[in-house]
């Protein structure tokens, strides 16, 4: 191999290509294009990475927001359910309270009615006993009946139980000497009662009638004589 310091021999000139500056420019442009392509690719990769990150963050944020909204909706529905339950419970309690009040009032009314009925029965038994031991109990009744006739009535027919008439006939005539009384025995009239008639006016002072009037003022309906009850 020859050692050339400055000149190329003529026989080798054909093997040497002419060097041009355009080759350097082309290589530089290719390098620049590659660099730009790489940068563009990297930008695309970064952009895709950023997009995926943003998507992940957005998805996570949306998921969290959805959970919060779902929790808020669940709480709202639960509160609405509790409110409805409370309203239903309050309405049912009010109904039960009213029903209990009515039941209590009915029980108290029934108890009061029972006490009143029992009191009337006791009073009837006491009166029956009083009539058997005191024949003069008819005198206030007769006096009231004659007083109801008025001063214009001067005569009257007085019907009494035979037992009362026998025991009180003379006393009655003496007490009402200023009035013409026609005393008559009537077995249908119970002891302690009387019937006064004058000029078409009848004053019923029988025990049955007086008892019915007395118990009627108490809102009761009761007869003086009970079936199979001894006289």
Neighbouring residues of 127: CB distance < 8 A, sequence distance ≥ 6: 192
**Smallest Cα–Cα separation from 181: which of 191, 167, 168?**
168
Confidence of residue 231 (pLDDT cuts 50, 70, 90): low
Residue 92 has pLDDT above 60, yes or no: yes
CATH topology of domain 134-216: hypothetical protein PF0899 fold (3.30.2320)
The domain ranges of the chain are 26-106, 134-216
Whether 184 shows a pLDDT value over 90: the answer reads yes
Per-residue confidence (pLDDT) for residue 151, from 0 to 100: 78
Q: Does the pLDDT value for residue 211 go beyond 60?
A: yes
- H or E element at residue 195: strand 194-198
- pLDDT score, position 6: 53
Check whether 85 has a pLDDT greater than 80. yes
Q: What percent of the chain has pLDDT over 90?
A: 17
pTM of the model: 0.49
Question: Taking Cα atoms as reference points, which of 220, 196, 221, 217 lies closest to residue 206?
Answer: 196
Q: Which of 178, 181, 141 is nearest to 157 (CA)?
A: 181
Question: Mean pLDDT highest for which of 30-39, 78-87, 153-162?
Answer: 153-162
């Amino acid at each position: 191999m020859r050692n050339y310091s400055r000149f190329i021999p003529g026989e080798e000139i054909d093997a040497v290509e002419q060097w041009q500056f355009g080759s350097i420019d082309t290589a530089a442009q290719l390098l620049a294009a590659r660099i730009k392509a790489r940068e563009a690719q990297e930008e695309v990769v970064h952009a895709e990475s950023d997009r995926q990150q943003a998507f992940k963050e957005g998805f996570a944020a949306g998921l969290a927001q959805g959970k919060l909204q779902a929790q808020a909706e669940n709480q709202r529905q639960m509160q609405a359910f509790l409110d409805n339950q409370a309203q239903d419970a309050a309405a049912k309690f009010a109904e039960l309270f009213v029903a209990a009040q009515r039941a209590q009032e009915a029980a108290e009314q029934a108890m009061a009615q029972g006490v009143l009925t029992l009191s009337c029965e006791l009073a009837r038994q006491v009166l029956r006993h009083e009539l058997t031991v005191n024949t003069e109990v008819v005198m206030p009744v007769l006096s009231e009946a004659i007083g109801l006739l008025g001063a214009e009535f001067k005569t009257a027919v007085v019907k009494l139980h035979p037992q009362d008439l026998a025991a009180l006939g003379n006393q009655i005539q003496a007490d009402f000497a200023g009035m013409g009384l026609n005393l008559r025995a009537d077995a249908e009239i119970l002891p302690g009662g009387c019937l006064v008639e004058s000029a078409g006016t009848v004053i019923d002072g029988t025990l049955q009638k007086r008892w019915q009037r007395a118990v009627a003022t108490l809102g009761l309906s009761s007869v003086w004589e009970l079936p199979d009850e001894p006289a």
